[in-house]
Structure 1
Amino acid sequence: MQQIAYDATPLNAVTVDVEARIGWLLAMSRLHHPDPSFQDGRVFIEALGDAGMPTSRSLLSRWESGEIPISYEAMAAYEQVLGIESGQISSITAYVGAILPRIKARLARPKLDPATPEFADRLDALIDLCEDGGALSRDWQDLGWHLAAVPHAFLRSSVWAALCGRLVNEMPRTVKLAYRQYSAAAFNLAQVPRAQPYLVDAVATWVADPRAQVLTTPVGMLDRLPTRAAASLVLDMIEKPPTQSVFKVGIWSATEKLARGQFDDEERARLDMLVLQLWRRDPVRASEDLAELIAGMPEGMRSTLVHAADRAGRRRLGYAVEHGEEVVATRARAIAGQIAEQARTLVPQEPTYAEDRMLTRLVREALFHRDSERRHLSSLLIASSPFGRAVTDCLLVLLKDTGHSNWMRGRTATLARYLSDETHRLRMISLLDDPAEDVVTPVAQALGHMPYSAMSDQVLRSSLGRELTNAARGKMYALGMSGSPGLAAIATSDQVPEWQRVAAAWWQEHGSAIRPSPEPGA
């Protein structure tokens, strides 16, 4: 019976076992494939060979156990044989470095030889495509790989500015696989010293536009940029955030920069002052919003804040700092285990393997982990696995139970945003009138990640409301990302609030969602 890879690192560790997680993803993609013959490793190995990737049973076992890393070419062969979207598996490993920079994992990328004329020709073509706006998401990913192979390549200043400006301009509208491909490109560009100041300038310009409707994705790039300007911009996002979402991303970026030593003495002093100001202004809110940052601060500051919270009877902060979770372990384990067990019954094929503890851990992290980066990675892994749709089915049942706290329901809705697809549309529409704004906002955003639907569009527009709230922002985001034909009327109407006209005009100017690139010849 096949043993299933498991990441046994403590929940409060700063790193995770990436190879075990990728191994789990490979095994689950094969064992829960609609074709039951792939459960037989010999059949699958033969299919990999037919796809141009000769493989032994031993090598397959070591990949799927997480014992050794798998090459990009082998991941691509998995995708081809399983008939799944190109990049669904391979893009995850490339993306890990972008969101968990403290993890030393070998990034999956194709083998490139910068010494060949073919490499130079392809790099020239990619630069032209991306600079001129004709690039697809896979082209951006390819550009990132090529520049990573020649990090000291010389480009004119105007070319760097154009590439970085277009990348920052387009990334906020990417979804699903396209989001991971653009993010991998941004990660690779951020490793090129010459590109770094241009990326920071592009992010600063984007954030400075008061009309901008999507800010979190560009701000999230700053933790990869080790410049003084990037550090200053992160601190600005904490001190004077344009939205609560930007504030949360600023906290995440500051946590990463602090861990990687990217703040100098003056910047660390400013960060300490900002934390103390937020604490004095609202200690209850600060202990919730700043938990991941406080956990990464020097012992003196961390202990002072944890003890202050304990004395005030708010022991949740101390628990989160020590254990890496925001609820007690027994409850987190029970809820995650129940969701994972139910989801497993909804996917193809009966389990023919030993106990799978990884899905439970990923659901647990995605819902309850203290650190936003860990929740993000776990959510993406589930989304790339055969369990994404089934887990969402379970989450939507949980969301119907209004007896849970708004915090719990908000986390549940946020995970559903990552995993949902067209099959969940009707159930998600029914949640747009939920009394909890923390539920409505991610649900509306999830609808924006789906293709346009007249039914969704009508409900979103009729429930938009005149007041600018987080839920209203989420609904306008859904209208913009889905390319609502109603945007033109909203942008020119004198019967709607000014914020709606500004938002609708911005979406018309920038366009709707950027989705995964179609396969060549498709």
Structure 2
Amino acid sequence: MSTSTGRVTSGRPNKIADDDGRFDSRTRIAWLLRMNRLYGRDPDLAVARRCVTAFAGRLGPVTPSQISRWENGVLPVPYRVIRAYEDMLGLPTGHLTAAVDTVHQVRSVRPGAPRLDRGFTADAVLARELDDLLDRCLADVPMRAVDWDGMSARVLAIPHVYLPRPMWHTLVTRLLAEMSVARGWDYHHRWEALRRLQGHPVAREAIAVAVAEMIADPASQIVVDPLMLLVHDRHATQLLVDEVTAPTSERTLRAALDVCELAAGAGRFGGAEARTLEMLARSHAADEGLPADVRRAAVDLLSGLARKRPTTRKTAPDRAETVAGLVRSAEGAIDVATRGTSVTENRMLSRLVDELLFTPQVDVRLGAAAVLAASPFGAPLADALARDPSPRRERTAALGMIGGAQHRPALEALLVGRTPHAVSAQAAFGLGNLPGHTGHAVLVAAVHHHRGNEEVLRALVYAAGMQRATPVLAEVRGRPDLPPEIRAAARWWLARPGPE
């Protein structure tokens, strides 16, 4: 639904919304590697000493104690080691590295070279590789997610990369457009590429301009993700304040309030900006003419400016019981008892599930989703969420973040019947983010069923747009019985190019 130079961590580990070291970024990465090894395709690799031979051909001599230190968070894990895990475990290239990059994005406001250092040497070979990738970007030749990943990492590895400003604008506008409509790891790689390019002084300015242009379009259907990029640009926070001051629409106001809360929690605002935001947030919170969710976002921003975490709307016992039930289902599905998962590792799984379901901060939820989806627990967790007989909004949202194509029917079933509108809207947004496609007839029937509810209709148009359901979008655009804003949303999607 999206760093510094060095290895995976350097010095003090990057904290992720915690007050202790048990759940910091290094520990999360170590947990992800160990879980994939323990519950991967080859049960022999569950014994660390049997990995030595598997690693040797990729890394050179490795000892069981080294593996243990990587997987217990004692040592930072370099990029080449994580790539070796991917190869050894038969995972797609980028499956683990994209998740690790996402871990470092959470609660971080430092753009630039990836914390997971690729170890590039700035030589003639690297320059030729970058030339080829830049030529493809600017010639509008199809770019895969890993190509954007490679291009952005090379830009930051080679000092003094020069492109004329119009070329930077062309490049980042294309990348932003592709990121906005990408799904899964395709999204994460593109988001990370934009974050890195913010470390280049001219590319940073071009990204801020491209974000402002996208948000200024009142028909734009993607607003939160572009605005979140501004959190990582200390020169662009005024753009966030401007959007709260004079929003393009109620949707962009809600998005700007949410993102300002994230930026405030990171200490991005001070002095006049903080005072202006506080005044505006109080005004919006008291404006009964605004939707309830916008007023609630204004209250959360006030908490963020005061450095107070917003409280969740779930009672502690119910929350704990929900998390425990999902963890039991996931652990039971892969029989964790047979391969020695520790109590600490179980706590990490519980923490990630809790963040996925209940944490108010969107970047923390996205980070938890990325780690869970890259772990062996992602699919069984999604299965458990899909089986929920009385779905609630937070469970539906979680399924849309970690589910697969096989979970689409569970979300499709929530588009009709007596399902609360908020849950139906969340199900539609989830369908937009999951791999695969929903039948056109299902989407059209849902549009007819919810024709009186703009929240659900907008989510359905999002689902149709993300899967390029052109016939559905064309029908919505041409229906005079639907609100003008919904028809405009369909027109925006019809005009939107998508990644190859």
TM-score band, normalised by the shorter chain?
Answer: 0.7 to 0.9
Matched, 1:401 2:390: yes
Quick one: structure 1 residues 54 and 414, their matched pair in 2 at CA, closer, same or farther if it must change by over 3 Å?
A: farther
For 1:489 and 1:329, the matched residues in 2 are separated by: 46
User: After alignment, is 383-392 or 494-503 more displaced?
Assistant: 494-503
1:44-69 superposed Cα distances (whole Å, 9 cap, x missing partner): 23212234454211111111111121
Find the counterpart in structure 2 of residue 334 from structure 1.
321
Q: CA deviation at 1:210?
A: 2.5
Query: Conserved in 2, the CA contact under 8 Å of 1:487 and 1:508?
Result: no
For 2:251 and 2:369, the matched residues in 1 are separated by: 18
Query: Conserved in 2, the CA contact under 8 Å of 1:363 and 1:378?
Result: yes
Query: Conserved in 1, the CA contact under 8 Å of 2:138 and 2:170?
Result: yes
1:388-432 superposed Cα distances (whole Å, 9 cap, x missing partner): 12111222333x326xxxxxx211111111111122122221111
Matched, 1:71 2:109: no
Find the counterpart in structure 2 of residue 509 from structure 1.
495
Q: CA deviation at 1:245?
A: 5.8
Structure 1 segments, 4+ long, off by >6 Å, are: 7-10, 103-106
User: Any gaps of 5 or more consecutive residues in structure 1?
Assistant: 1-6, 303-319, 403-408, 516-522
Quick one: structure 1 residues 249 and 56, their matched pair in 2 at CA, closer, same or farther if it must change by over 3 Å?
A: farther
Matched, 1:263 2:269: yes
Find the counterpart in structure 2 of residue 382 from structure 1.
372
Quick one: structure 1 residues 281 and 450, their matched pair in 2 at CA, closer, same or farther if it must change by over 3 Å?
A: closer
Counterpart of 1:131, as a letter, is: L
Quick one: structure 1 residues 133 and 276, their matched pair in 2 at CA, closer, same or farther if it must change by over 3 Å?
A: same
Find the counterpart in structure 1 of residue 426 from structure 2.
442
Q: Match of 2:213, SS?
A: helix
Find the counterpart in structure 1 of residue 41 from structure 2.
34
Find the counterpart in structure 2 of residue 473 from structure 1.
458
For 2:380 and 2:267, the matched residues in 1 are separated by: 40
Among 140, 148, 171, the residue aligned to 1:163: 171
Find the counterpart in structure 2 of residue 482 from structure 1.
467
Quick one: structure 1 residues 136 and 289, their matched pair in 2 at CA, closer, same or farther if it must change by over 3 Å?
A: same
Find the counterpart in structure 2 of residue 309 from structure 1.
none
Find the counterpart in structure 2 of residue 414 from structure 1.
397
For 1:494 and 1:249, the matched residues in 2 are separated by: 28
1:211-230 superposed Cα distances (whole Å, 9 cap, x missing partner): 32222221221111111xx2
For 1:363 and 1:342, the matched residues in 2 are separated by: 12
Counterpart of 1:458, as a letter, is: A
Find the counterpart in structure 2 of residue 366 from structure 1.
356
Q: CA deviation at 1:496?
A: 5.9
Q: CA deviation at 1:35?
A: 2.4
Q: CA deviation at 1:185?
A: 0.4
Q: CA deviation at 1:492?
A: 6.9
Matched, 1:144 2:152: yes
Quick one: structure 1 residues 258 and 152, their matched pair in 2 at CA, closer, same or farther if it must change by over 3 Å?
A: farther
Query: Conserved in 2, the CA contact under 8 Å of 1:76 and 1:86?
Result: yes
Find the counterpart in structure 1 of residue 62 from structure 2.
55
TM superposition score normalised by structure 2: 0.86
For 1:493 and 1:272, the matched residues in 2 are separated by: 42
TM superposition score normalised by structure 1: 0.82
Q: CA deviation at 1:182?
A: 0.4
Find the counterpart in structure 2 of residue 432 from structure 1.
415
For 1:34 and 1:77, the matched residues in 2 are separated by: 15
Query: Conserved in 2, the CA contact under 8 Å of 1:187 and 1:224?
Result: yes
Find the counterpart in structure 2 of residue 464 from structure 1.
447
Q: CA RMSD in A?
A: 3.0
For 1:216 and 1:106, the matched residues in 2 are separated by: 22
For 2:273 and 2:15, the matched residues in 1 are separated by: 32
For 2:276 and 2:62, the matched residues in 1 are separated by: 54
Q: CA deviation at 1:125?
A: 1.5
Among 223, 241, 251, the residue aligned to 2:257: 251
Quick one: structure 1 residues 205 and 23, their matched pair in 2 at CA, closer, same or farther if it must change by over 3 Å?
A: same
Find the counterpart in structure 2 of residue 313 from structure 1.
none
Quick one: structure 1 residues 102 and 221, their matched pair in 2 at CA, closer, same or farther if it must change by over 3 Å?
A: closer
Quick one: structure 1 residues 53 and 505, their matched pair in 2 at CA, closer, same or farther if it must change by over 3 Å?
A: farther
Query: Conserved in 2, the CA contact under 8 Å of 1:326 and 1:370?
Result: no
Find the counterpart in structure 2 of residue 128 from structure 1.
135
Quick one: structure 1 residues 62 and 233, their matched pair in 2 at CA, closer, same or farther if it must change by over 3 Å?
A: same
Find the counterpart in structure 1 of residue 186 from structure 2.
178
Quick one: structure 1 residues 12 and 108, their matched pair in 2 at CA, closer, same or farther if it must change by over 3 Å?
A: closer
1:168-190 superposed Cα distances (whole Å, 9 cap, x missing partner): 22111111101110011011011
User: Any gaps of 5 or more consecutive residues in structure 2?
Assistant: 1-12
Query: Conserved in 2, the CA contact under 8 Å of 1:291 and 1:370?
Result: no
Quick one: structure 1 residues 334 and 99, their matched pair in 2 at CA, closer, same or farther if it must change by over 3 Å?
A: same
1:434-472 superposed Cα distances (whole Å, 9 cap, x missing partner): 53222122321222234554x632111121134461211
Count of residue pairs brought into register by the alignment: 476
Query: Conserved in 2, the CA contact under 8 Å of 1:130 and 1:139?
Result: no
